[in-house]
Amino acid sequence: MMGKMNKLENCPECNSKLNENETIQYCENCGYWTNKGTVRFDSIAIFA
């Protein structure tokens, strides 16, 4: 049995609520977008 697909509720860039269609989640406020079930790391800086 497959688990529930994870998805973002809020935009990681501006914290607005994300909208979605059949295949992507997108932010109307800042233009961030990602495929459902994934997160785009190119716009998120990770510091170690």
Domain ranges of the chain: 10-40
Higher pLDDT, 48 or 7: 7
Q: Closest Cα partner for 9 from 22, 21, 25?
A: 25
In 3-state terms, what secondary structure has residue 34?
strand
Segment 8-39, tens digit of pLDDT = 889 989 999 999 999 999 999 999 998 887 76
Calpha distance 25→46 (Å, rounded): 22
Q: Residue 3: what pLDDT?
A: 45
- pLDDT score recorded for residue 30: 93
pTM, 2 dp: 0.65
